[in-house]
């Protein structure tokens, strides 16, 4: 059988195409970005007229996907873990409306924070919404679980979450495809009130959701993704969730674990299988990527049962991603742990590219702010967050998408004047616009710099919804025209740019400055693909 070498993300994308989705909506976010990118580039998806599109943010993506489900077709939305916070309102309520066409939400967590500001565990969100969750341990399962997830979603008429972590998202392995299936025909919900969450309907729908919980548990009991491997030696029982199962079996020759293992790939947890392990084994070890969700539920509040080992008792670290070495130590195994690291190695943090437009924006801003006390630049999520590092040392905050403008507003309203917000073009249309409206309404004395590199750069250059619209948006929100400036962030205009910023810092209302120059990476990749097009055209 022909195997495709796919990243975990790509396996999910190919799975979605083959499982007959009609629409996918997403906002880029590491490590989830490659799912939507793959479908955008897929010839098969194009031939099948699958609608794939980047949205302004994760909430609009989630809602658009609910629209796909409403008309009876299969929809997918994907996001990084913190993106689910943005989509949470729609996400939680989608469990109350339920699904019509199959609906899957992929949440890609980033334990160890390789490219994120926290390491929250999306399984808690799935539990919070009370919907089934799938957690693949490898690329093949990621592919297979998409088919299975849509079956589950359509059978129970409920959205299904798939939770992955960075390691699976960005690791490649051979995947065998299934036969593709057709997309659904248009068919509106059978019950007209299903999607109208007026309190009277919502109470009824919520009771129905509560009533379905036992059926979800039963589905988990029967699921082939929850497997119990029994052995004679009951001195220890091991529960291994998702990718942690790989790290477990890696530690034993031929992957044969000498203790009973319950491999978890579907939630809510399979109660009977958990009870079997708890009653038959003397001690339990829980291996899970992220927060100790299974471990906590096993221990209970009083923690007065059998010894349970995991992230809470120190058998494994409380934070960070797992690996075979950490799991091996938790199993009490001893092995060669490698040489001492060399003392001739220093850190090499990421940095802005040589010639990056952000460099010149920060140089101008830093000089304009020289006469003020430090600590007044509120920034945001993007490549420009690297402005926090030397040699720029230019920004003082980075919290969540859009927080630059709103934090600057709060600080300025209550006494820090001038206050500056630094935000990227894509982040601005993601979550900055509403905050800018707040600032206009209260005439907050802030200077907002929208660094426009005409792309969503940090995640690899996806189209930015802000493209060509920023001045109009700002004017439409009520920023005065004479306080909106566009500049070219380049060395030769440094003095002019610095002068404009300096002037606007003294204005006691909202000003917007837009340094605009295309990202060097997107220019380079455009030139590469143009060369390729010219070449193939002449061949």
Partner 1 sequence: MKKDIILAGVGGQGILSIAAIIGTAAMGAGLYLKQAEVHGMSQRGGEVHSNLRLSDKPVASDLIPKGYADMIIAVEPMEALRYVSMLGEEGWLITNSTPYVNIPNYPEHDDILKDIKLLPQHVIIDADNMAKDLGNKRAANMVILGAALPFLGMDVQLFHDAISSIFGRKGEDIVKLNTDALRAGYEFAVNANK
Binding-site member from 458, 473, 500, 512 for partner 1 (CB under 8 A):
458
Residue 182 contacts by C-beta under 8 Å, 6 or more apart in sequence?
Answer: 20
Q: Please list, residue by residue across 265-299, b when 16 or more beta carbons sit within 10 angstroms of its beta carbon and e when fewer do.
A: bbbbbbeebbebbbeebeebbbbbbbbbbbbbebb
Binding mask 71-110 for partner 1 (x = CB under 8 A): ----------------------------------------
* Listed ranges 19-27, 202-210, 278-286, 457-465: which one lies at the site for partner 1 (CB under 8 A): 457-465
**Burial status of residue 346 (CB atoms within 10 A of its CB: 0-12, 13-18, 19 or more):** exposed
* Strands (E) located in 201-316: 227-229, 236-241, 261-264, 266-267, 283-287, 308-309
| In the complex, least distance from residue 342 CB atom to partner 1, rounded to whole angstroms | 5
Residue 316 contacts by C-beta under 8 Å, 6 or more apart in sequence?
Answer: 287, 309, 310, 322, 326, 327, 330
* Listed ranges 245-253, 270-278, 360-368, 412-420: which one lies at the site for partner 1 (CB under 8 A): 245-253
Distances (CA, A) of 536 to 40, 499, 529, 531: 21, 48, 10, 9
1 forms part of the interface with partner 1 (CB under 8 A): no
346 forms part of the interface with partner 1 (CB under 8 A): yes
* Listed ranges 156-164, 195-203, 328-336, 472-480: which one lies at the site for partner 1 (CB under 8 A): 328-336
| In the complex, least distance from residue 537 CB atom to partner 1, rounded to whole angstroms | 13
| Pairing mode of beta strands 446-451, 308-309 | unpaired
Binding-site member from 193, 323, 396, 525 for partner 1 (CB under 8 A):
323
Binding mask 367-406 for partner 1 (x = CB under 8 A): ----------------x--x--------------------
114 forms part of the interface with partner 1 (CB under 8 A): yes
Using an 8 Å Cβ cutoff, are 249 and 296 in contact?
no
The token duo for 419 is 């206050």
Alpha helices in 393-510, H assignment, sequence order: 403-413, 425-427, 433-441, 470-476, 494-505
Binding-site member from 230, 250, 280, 495 for partner 1 (CB under 8 A):
250
338 forms part of the interface with partner 1 (CB under 8 A): yes
Using an 8 Å Cβ cutoff, are 432 and 445 in contact?
no
Q: In the complex with partner 1, which residue's Cβ is closer, 201 or 251?
A: 251
341 forms part of the interface with partner 1 (CB under 8 A): yes
172 forms part of the interface with partner 1 (CB under 8 A): yes
Instruction: Determine the size of the site formed for partner 1 (CB under 8 A).
Output: 54
SS3 7: strand
| Chain residues that interact with partner 1, rule: CB under 8 A | 3, 5, 7, 30-31, 33-34, 114-115, 167-168, 170-174, 243, 246-247, 249-251, 254-255, 323-325, 328, 335-342, 344-353, 383, 386, 458-460, 532, 535-536
């Amino acid at each position: 059988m022909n195997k495709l070498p796919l990243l975990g993300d790509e396996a999910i994308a190919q799975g979605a195409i083959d499982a007959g989705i009609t629409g996918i909506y997403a906002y880029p976010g590491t490590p989830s970005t490659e799912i939507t990118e793959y479908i955008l580039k897929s010839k098969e998806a194009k031939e099948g007229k699958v609608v794939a599109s980047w949205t302004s943010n994760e909430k609009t993506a989630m809602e658009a996907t609910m629209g796909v489900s409403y008309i009876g077709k299969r929809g997918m939305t994907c996001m990084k873990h913190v993106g689910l916070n943005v989509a949470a309102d729609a996400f939680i309520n989608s469990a109350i409306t339920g699904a019509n066409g199959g609906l899957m939400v992929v949440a890609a967590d980033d334990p160890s924070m390789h490219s994120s500001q926290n390491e929250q565990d999306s399984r808690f969100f799935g539990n919070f919404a009370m919907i089934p969750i799938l957690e693949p341990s490898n690329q093949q399962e990621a592919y297979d679980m998409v088919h299975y997830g849509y079956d589950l979603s359509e059978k129970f008429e409920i959205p299904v979450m798939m939770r992955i972590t960075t390691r699976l998202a960005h690791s490649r392995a051979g995947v065998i495809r299934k036969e593709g299936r057709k997309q659904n025909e248009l068919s509106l919900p059978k019950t007209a009130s299903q999607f109208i969450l007026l309190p009277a309907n919502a109470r009824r729908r919520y009771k129905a959701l509560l009533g379905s919980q036992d059926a979800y548990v039963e589905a988990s009991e029967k699921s082939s993704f929850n497997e119990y491997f029994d052995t004679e030696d009951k001195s220890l029982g091991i529960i291994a969730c998702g990718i942690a199962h790989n790290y477990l079996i890696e530690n034993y020759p031929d992957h044969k674990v000498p203790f009973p293992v319950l491999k978890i790939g579907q939630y809510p947890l399979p109660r009977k299988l958990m009870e079997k392990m708890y009653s038959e084994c003397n001690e339990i070890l829980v291996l899970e990527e992220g927060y100790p969700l299974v471990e906590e539920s096993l221990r209970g509040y009083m923690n007065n049962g059998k010894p349970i080992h995991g992230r809470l008792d120190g058998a494994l670290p409380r934070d960070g991603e797992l690996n075979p070495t950490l799991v091996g130590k938790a199993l009490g195994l001893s092995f060669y742990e490698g040489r001492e690291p060399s003392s001739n190695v220093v850190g090499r943090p990421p940095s802005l590219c040589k010639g990056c437009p952000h460099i010149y924006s920060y140089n101008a801003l830093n000089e304009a702010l020289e006469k003020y006390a430090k600590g007044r630049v509120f920034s945001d999520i993007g490549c420009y967050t690297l402005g926090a590092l030397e040699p720029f040392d230019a920004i003082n905050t980075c919290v969540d998408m859009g927080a630059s403008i709103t934090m600057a507003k709060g600080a300025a309203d209550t006494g820090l004047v001038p206050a500056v917000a630094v935000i990227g073009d894509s982040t601005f249309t993601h979550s900055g616009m509403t905050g800018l409206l707040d600032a206009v309404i209260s005439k907050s004395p802030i200077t907002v710099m929208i660094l426009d590199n005409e792309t969503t750069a940090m995640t690899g250059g996806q189209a930015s919804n802000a493209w060509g619209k920023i001045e109009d948006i700002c004017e439409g929100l009520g920023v005065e025209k004479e306080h909106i400036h566009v500049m070219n962030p380049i060395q030769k205009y440094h003095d002019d740019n610095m002068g404009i910023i300096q002037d606007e810092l003294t204005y006691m209302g909202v000003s917007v400055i837009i340094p605009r120059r295309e990202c060097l990476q997107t220019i380079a990749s455009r030139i590469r693909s143009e060369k390729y097009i010219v070449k193939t055209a002449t061949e």
